[in-house]
Amino acid sequence: MLPLVTALALLVPPAVPAPAPQPCAPPPAAHRGGTEHALENTLDAFHAAADAGIPTWELDVRFDATGTPVVLHDATVDRISPRTGPITRFTTPVPTDDGQVVPTLRAVYAAAPPGTHVLTELKVTPTPAQWAAVAADIDATVGRPAVTLMSFDRTTVLAARTAIPGTVTALVHNAGHLPPEAVIPLGTSFVKAHGSITAARAATWRAAGLKLYAWTPNGAADWSRLQPWVDAVITDRPIAYAQWAAGRSCPGPTDGAARPGGALYSLRHARRRSGSEAARQGRSGRRAAMAPARRPAHSGHRRLGPRAARRLGGHLARLARGLARSAGARVPRRECLSAHRQWWRERSGGSAGMGRHAGRVAGDPRQGAVPGGRRTADARAGGHLPGDAGEQPM
């Protein structure tokens, strides 16, 4: 018996565990190190990003009075320091409002864990001596392949390619659209303001071989919108983004190439999506053009169709006869129907006097009569019959 069980076990293939779902969201980049736990562009901010495993950092470079590269966004230190004035006046470390100092570029590079890529935005065009200082900081720490030198200024980007070869270069662009042929001469990466990124534009840039960074979405709505279009998201909230991205997984395999950080992306899917959106918009526009104009509301009431109008007419005729009968009058059914038709014609024509037929039969000398041949004051005024709780048109 035992050999038989062993043989059966050999025939049954071992169970292969299903592959773990891969995250669909592109990896985050810590904008100025992130501002969730520390002041921007400080060592504490970059240490927090490192502890959270953020794979890409973004920082800004300026130069102090000695030509040393420092990590600072503004031209002055006023916003982040108790001191004031441009950074180019200071020869010693500048204190920050949270008790740190404005860090040097070398100090931040040295804090980067292995494998971290640093997006380095040059806020000014360096002099030859300053280019040499930046190159020395890169070579002494992370190495040139781990650095992207970028700027809004195209002249600065082109100078970076010559001054520090071996680094990645990128153009930073704000609103509007740039065709790929205007971006590719400046580098293989493109940092774009997220509000100007659309599915069609992203597909065009990526088809040309550009690595697309979205800068700077900080909320889940924008993260979700950009998810299928970009290669990385530069955000002030990289830790929150990483937590958001961890909960999103691909429903199944795609035909796209792998994103940096293991996320998947399908350019073909993006094209299909953008095409289907355009088609839906076209269909919506055609339907709106072909749709008949809406009829204006009639006196604040909803229009009735012919069948509903006939049904309502029968109910009103029976109601009128019942009211007249309760008042002691006998009204033939034909007169009730004639009065109802007259009321309906006035209502359909927009007459404001719908209520004047309430509780009365047009042309009936006995309208409003009560037992004993007397008429009430309300009936004489064209109002209600006795016992009528409200205005009931005939």
Cα separation, 274 vs 306, whole angstroms: 46
Contact 238, 229 (CB under 8 A): no
Contact 73, 87 (CB under 8 A): no
Going from N- to C-terminal start, the domains of the chain cover 28-275, 306-372
**42-57 as b/e: b if 16+ CB within 10 A:** bbbbbebbbebebbbb
- The first and second tokens of residue 322, run together, are 């019942």
Expressed in angstroms, the distance from the first to the final Cα of the chain is 95
203's CB contacts (< 8 A; 6+ apart) are 229, 267, 270, 271, 274
Cα separation, 210 vs 202, whole angstroms: 9
pTM: 0.62
Walk along the chain (394 residues) and give the pLDDT tens digit of each residue.
445 445 444 545 555 555 544 568 999 999 999 999 999 999 999 999 999 999 999 999 999 999 999 999 999 999 999 999 999 999 999 999 999 999 999 999 999 999 999 999 999 999 999 999 999 999 999 999 999 999 999 999 999 999 999 999 999 999 999 999 999 999 999 999 999 999 999 999 999 999 999 999 999 999 999 999 999 999 999 999 999 999 886 644 443 334 444 333 333 333 334 444 444 455 455 454 455 544 444 444 456 677 777 777 777 777 777 777 776 666 566 665 666 566 566 665 544 444 444 444 444 444 444 444 444 444 333 333 333 333 344 3
Chain centroid to CA 91: how far?
A: 45
CATH number of 28-275: 3.20.20.190
Cα separation, 172 vs 269, whole angstroms: 26
Contact 30, 58 (CB under 8 A): yes
Q: Is the peptide bond before 216 cis (omega within 30 degrees of 0)?
A: yes
Cα separation, 157 vs 139, whole angstroms: 19
∠ at Cα 132 (128, 136), nearest 5°?
Answer: 170
Cα separation, 325 vs 336, whole angstroms: 12
- The first and second tokens of residue 230, run together, are 């970009």
Cα separation, 297 vs 295, whole angstroms: 6
> Which phi and psi angles does 172 have, rounded to 5°?
-100, 130
Chain centroid to CA 98: how far?
A: 34
